[in-house]
Structure 1
Amino acid sequence: MITDIYSKRQIEVLKETVDKDWFIALLHGAKRSGKTKINNDSFLFELRRVRKIADAEGVKEPMYILAGVSSATINKNILQELYNMYNIELKFDKHNNFKLFGVKVVQAYTGNIGGVGAIRGMTAYGAYVNEASLAKQEVFAEIISRCSGEGARILADTNPDNPEHWLKKEYIDKPNDNVKAFHFELDDNTFLSDRYRENIKAATPSGMFYDRDIKGLWVSADGVVYQDFDSTKHYIQSKDLPKLSTFYCGVDWGYGHWGSIVVIGETDDGVAYLIEEHAKQYEEIDYWVDTAKGIQERYGLKVPFYCDSARPEHVARFRREKINAFNADKARLSGVESVAKRFKTNTFYICQDKVEKFKTEIYQYVWDKKKGEPIKQFDDVLDAVRYAIYTDESRNNKRVDIVSKVRFGL
């Protein structure tokens, strides 16, 4: 039965797209809600449809656009899933294109304007745009303009972004007979167990992250960034620290504004503790070298320092001084979400007697409603915290989702 394969929401999308004509079908909403699964299958349906149209027109090799932020995201979100589900093995040419069902599929990358060079001048019989909200608007427009073959249609999917985002204003808010928009919530994916869904909800930070990731809403951020921080719960005294097994640091360079180095310690089960804060103004690099060497004396020569890459000469100086320095992963929103998840899941605690600047920043670090990102104020220590936690998770493949599994028994 079809209900064994697709959720109720996915079946509704099929009913609106299989037997009706349209130009753009845009699926948007929560993560893990089933958007990409139905679009991957629709992609296969579309290729077969294109082949029939081409046969009727006498076109030997019709072309179709497969677009995503990068080759890696296309492979992860689409091609690998098609292989896992249907054992579809593809043979790529030197341009990373392939043929499937008699249709030539040309890959285009939407993260920058140069990524669409492969499709300029082509006549496409359709396109599939993954993670559409991450596409440059001019790139999305170029893909649409290329889809001029007979009966061409465009599939797209995306997670929510800022409510002022061009994709929402120009396409989702203006649906018509040619543009169909379908909204998904986490609960639409009934193939996920109730227990899993409830645990994910419990692990998702409050506010914007919950509204976007669970409800699938295009909302602005509002108020304090770390809404789940609770001073009565997340402050401890250093004398009450458990046994810590690993240590790592975050570094935010400064001079006129505050510079900072923080030290994070973790237990064997992945619970993190902010155990040292060093924050100063008007200090030269020599001061920070001495501070880092003191940290090495306490926690070992191999302790990593995840540094703001904005001052490469300072990172180079650390390395010359035999300090284990790395450029931090500075993905801002993803990094904030990682720290926020830790507060929500009670896997990050602060040694109250070892911090000063953190105490004021945590309540003054607020969202920019228009940009959907934190305002660049009151973030010197918090940036160092973000660099430390997010980069260490990335380097060691231990996203907070893994910690959540431990804490929530997923």
Structure 2
Amino acid sequence: MTTTTAKAAALSVKQQDSILDATHRINIWEGAIRSGKTIGSIVRWLMYVRTAPAGPLAMIGKTRDTLARNVLDVIADMNPAAISYTRGATTARILGRLVHVIGANDARAESRIRGLTLAGAYVDEITVVPEAFFTQLLGRMSVPGAKLFGTTNPDTPTHWLNKNFLKKERLPLDDPDRPDLISFHFNLDDNPGLDREYVRGLMAEFTGLWFDRFILGKWVAAEGAIYQMLDEAKHTARAPDPRMWRRGWIALDYGTSNPTHALLIVLTAPVIEGSRIVVPERLHVVSEWRHDGRAAGQLTDAQISRKLAEWAAPLIEHLPDAPATILDPSAASLRVQMRSDGWPGLRAADNRVDVGIRAQASLISGGRFVIDHEACPHLWDEMCGYVWDDAALERGEEKPVKTDDHGPDAGRYGVMAARPIWRQWLPDLATSSELPNAA
């Protein structure tokens, strides 16, 4: 019996199942550290190398050294005869096949695989690989039957791997946007060979974000995220029946070359079962409209006003009263245009960032602010990725990074405009001297 076979015999049920099921073009093992995902992926990769179609193979890590530590050395431990590799070299021999060993730690890495026509690839820690490189890698896997195998620990929910690949695995099999992909989620319980004392020590080493990611294997927002409390299970919901909409606000962040992002936020009636309130009154973002001038060409104020009206008209007819329209304070020219077009209830937004973020965070924590993330995908992604500016924090200032912030800004404008509603939910915040007395 070979060393590899002996190892395979000791594999957990989860590892064995993943090996048998990893027959797709893209096969990803993701989850907690020390959960057995790397061993399972390596065994499957060695099986593939032995039977892969003719053509070059590649193994990729953030650097060649990290790939060697995480994967190549493990192969050598499992079966020394299976691999011939000199540390730092650009190629290895694995089961007699030539394998390119590639580091992909920056944007220039994409050029390292140009010209290759690959029959297969293994990627260690996919989330640390640049998206452009991964896209190029898939394009280079053009040999019929080529497959990719890879591992990763979770990252932010809006990471390109999660958004563009793992989440799309949930799409129906016949959906043209669904990639030929399978993923395997691992947690510590999936590695029964771990010593229990070691597991307890490991769990004690990580707290907060890192505990959620590395121990529980969750895709959660990074440290420094402004809305760290966001949880897809708690803070997203499909828009309720329009008969439950009591009041509405259209909130808009304005851009010319940058995106213009509008949201419809509605106050929804509580859901009551018997004498118990199952779902309280809350602010629900039910729709978004967005135009990226840089990507799709700039619009005039008149065009924005017209397109906003086309988007809003079928929605606001469900409201008992016309919604207030809250505009970015910098949108003076658009405000003039919309006023001439007959938009009712136009108001400039309260743009105090710190106060607005505090109010919105309190509503989110209390379950009083939710998003229809299927109808508002841009908003949800930007809320999850909305982070504090590290350089500003070092100066003692609390400022968000001014990138991909148009949805959060619009949401903040709407929240501040809805203060007459949430002051009864958050009385301490509502009476703060930092907030205006005017509704």
The within-5 A match list for 1:301-312 is: none
Unaligned ranges ≥5, structure 2: 1-5, 170-177, 229-382, 397-439
Cα displacement (A) at 1:98: 2.3
The 3 A distance-change label for structure 1 pair 80 and 118 is same
Tell me, in whole angstroms, the C-alpha distance in 2 between the residues paired with 1:66 and 1:223.
Answer: 32
Contact 1:186 1:213 in 2 (8 A): no
1:254 corresponds in structure 2 to none
Q: Which of 97, 100, 111 is residue 106 of structure 1 equivalent to?
A: 100
Match of 2:251 in 1: none
Code of the residue aligned with 1:29 in structure 2: it is G
2:385 aligns to what?
370
Residue of structure 2 aligned with 1:125, choices 111, 119, 123: 119
Name the amino acid aligned to 1:148.
Answer: S
How far residue 100 of structure 1 moved from its aligned partner, in angstroms, is 2.4
Query: How is 1:1-400 mapped onto 2 (pairs within 5 angstroms)?
Result: 4-17=9-22, 21-50=23-52, 53-54=53-54, 62-88=55-81, 89-91=83-85, 96-175=90-169, 178-205=180-207, 207-221=208-222, 370=385, 375-379=390-394
Structure 1 residues 370 and 29: alpha-carbon distance in aligned structure 2, compared to 1, 3 A threshold: same
**Paired residue secondary structure (2:151):** strand
Query: Does the 8 Å CA contact 1:107/1:118 hold for their aligned counterparts?
Result: no
Deviations 1:112-147 (A, max 9, x none): 132243421121101001110001000001111111
Q: Gapped runs of 5+ residues in structure 1?
A: 55-61, 228-367, 382-410
Q: TM-score, structure 2 length as denominator?
A: 0.47
Structure 2: how far apart are the matches of 1:147 and 1:224?
36
Go from structure 1 to structure 2 and tell me whether the alpha carbon gap of 1:223 and 1:155 turns closer, same or farther (over 3 Å shift): closer
Alpha-carbon contact 1:109-1:116 (below 8 Å) kept: no
Once the 2 structures are TM-superposed, how far is the Cα of residue 5 of structure 1 from its aligned partner? 1.6
Sequence identity of aligned pairs in percent?
28
The one-letter code of the counterpart of 2:59 is L
Question: 2:189 & 2:387 partners in 1: Cα distance?
Answer: 25
Q: For residues 193 and 378 of structure 1, do their structure 2 counterparts lie closer, same or farther at Cα, with a shift above 3 Å needed?
A: same
For 1:250, the equivalent position in structure 2 comes to none
SS in 2 for 1:219: coil
Equivalent-residue separation in structure 2 for 1:369 and 1:97 (angstroms): 39
Residues 31 and 153 in structure 2, CA contact (< 8 A), matched pair in contact too:
yes
In the aligned structure 2, how far is the partner of 1:117 from the partner of 1:221? Answer: 29
- Report the 3-state secondary structure (helix = DSSP H, G, I; strand = E; otherwise coil) of the residue aligned with 1:150: coil
Deviations 1:315-356 (Å, cap 9, x if unpaired)? Answer: xxxxxxxxxxxxxxxxxxxxxxxxxxxxxxxxxxxxxxxxxx
- Quick one: structure 1 residues 374 and 38, their matched pair in 2 at CA, closer, same or farther if it must change by over 3 Å? farther
TM-score, length-scaled by structure 1:
0.50
Q: More relative contact order in 1 or in 2 (CA 8 Å, sep 6+)?
A: 1
8 Å contact kept, 1:23–1:154? yes
Deviation at 1:374, TM superposition (A): 7.5
The alpha-carbon deviation at position 373 of structure 1 amounts to: 7.2
Label 1:92 to 1:203 Cα distance change in 2 as closer, same or farther (>3 A).
closer
CA 1:113–1:95 in structure 2 vs 1: closer, same or farther (change >3 Å)? farther
Q: Give the match for residue 428 of structure 2.
A: none
Question: 1 CA distance for matches of 2:92 and 2:42?
Answer: 16
Is the contact between residue 125 and residue 151 of structure 2 (CA under 8 Å) also seen in structure 1?
Answer: yes
Structure 2 CA distance for aligned equivalents of residues 107 and 114 of structure 1 = 16
Aligned residue pairs: how many?
227
Shift of 1:28: 0.9
Cα distance, 1:93 vs. partner? Answer: 11
Aligned residues of 1:127 and 1:154 also touching (Cα < 8 A): yes
Alignment deviations for residues 289-320 of structure 1 (CA, whole Å, 9 cap, x no partner)? xxxxxxxxxxxxxxxxxxxxxxxxxxxxxxxx
Residues 374 and 193 of structure 1: is their aligned pair in 2 closer, same or farther, counting only changes over 3 Å?
farther
CA contact (8 A) 1:106 1:118 kept: no
Q: Is the 8 A contact 1:130 1:158 kept in 2?
A: yes
Q: Given the superposition, is the C-alpha separation of residues 164 and 87 from structure 1 closer, same or farther in structure 2, using an over 3 Å criterion?
A: same
- Do the aligned residues in 1 keep the contact of 2:110 with 2:132 (CA within 8 Å)? no
Distance 1:372 1:220, change over 3 A: farther
Greater mean deviation of Cα atoms: 136-145 or 180-189: 180-189
> For residues 197 and 93 of structure 1, do their structure 2 counterparts lie closer, same or farther at Cα, with a shift above 3 Å needed?
closer
Aligned structure 1 segments of 4 or more residues deviating by more than 4 angstroms: 1-4, 91-95, 221-225, 371-381
Tell me: CA distance 1:16–1:177, structure 2 relative to 1, closer, same or farther (3 Å). Answer: farther
Contact 1:106–1:119 at 8 Å: present in 2 too? no
TM-aligned CA deviation for residue 45 of structure 1: 0.8
C-alpha displacement at 1:224, in angstroms? 9.8
In the alignment, the residues of structure 2 paired with residue 373 and residue 46 of structure 1 have an alpha-carbon distance, to the nearest angstrom, of 44
- Amino acid paired to 1:83: A
- The one-letter code of the counterpart of 1:81 is V
- Per-residue deviation, 1:219: 0.5
- How far is the alpha carbon of 1:203 from its aligned partner? 2.5
Larger radius of gyration: 2
Per-residue deviation at 1:4? 4.7
Quick one: distance in 2 between partners of 1:91 and 1:213? 30
d(CA) in 1 for partners of 2:388, 2:189:
27
One-letter code of the match for 1:144?
A: L
Amino acid at match of 1:113: A
